[in-house]
A and B are shown apart, each in its own frame.
Chain A
Amino acid sequence: SQKIEQNSEALNIQEGKTATLTCNYTNYSPAYLQWYRQDPGRGPVFLLLIRENEKEKRKERLKVTFDTTLKQSLFHITASQPADSATYLCAPVSGSARQLTFGSGTQLTVLP
């Protein structure tokens, strides 16, 4: 069955450092992979989408990589700030998919 795993349930880092979050998937052949941010008690907010033919995508302090051989996506936040503290969700999406399936998320805390 399809499975999505995101690294350790909680990740604590010091302000200014780079946070790296992992999304591993099995039994998927995603054409796209999406990342969302969710704050407590709120709905997720879309951040980035990367296609299978793109190795890397950047948006301001965010960088996403997509390795279809390793079946993994890495999500980086550089120069992290306490305001980046949230839960980050990944969603690998097959080309024919009619709906999104999400990983359980990684809770990131950036310590001042």
Chain B
Amino acid sequence: DGGITQSPKYLFRKEGQNVTLSCEQNLNHDAMYWYRQDPGQGLRLIYYSQIVNDFQKGDIAEGYSVSREKKESFPLTVTSAQKNPTAFYLCASSMLGAGTGANVLTFGAGSRLTVL
């Protein structure tokens, strides 16, 4: 079955540590996205990528980094510079090239990061 796989489902981190969240899709989608969701709030865009080796900052990119070395993969690193990293992180992908406006997103199951 095609879909998006995020791992790990749950992750605990000590302050000052970097952590990397994995996102893999086998949908042959061009665009991939990372969103952050805090309790009772909507989704906020961290980074997105339309093609391999290219990505753009979203609304809350500070303290995060990404790479897009393969079409299928878009890992997110939460660095120690992110002041409040505890949140639910969602990866998504879309078939159409970003910019058409009709992009329908397929989401992964999410990764919950807790900073101890």
Contact = CB atoms under 8 A, between A and B. Distances in A.
Interface string B29-45: 00001010000111101
A44 B105 contact: yes
Nearest to B108: A43
A3 B103 CA distance: 20
B105 A32 contact: no
Contacts of A46: 104-106
Contacts of B106: 46
- Give the residue among A9, A44, A100, A105 with the most B Cβ atoms within 10 A: A100
Interface residues of A, number: 29
Interface string B67-104: 00000000000000000000010101000001111111
Contacts of B105: 36, 44, 46, 100
Nearest to A44: B107
A96 B108 contact: no
Interface string A83-105: 00000010001111111111111
Interface of B: 4, 33, 35, 40-43, 45, 48, 50, 56, 58-59, 88, 90, 92, 98-110, 112
Interface of A: 4, 9, 30-32, 34, 36, 41-46, 49, 51, 89, 93-105
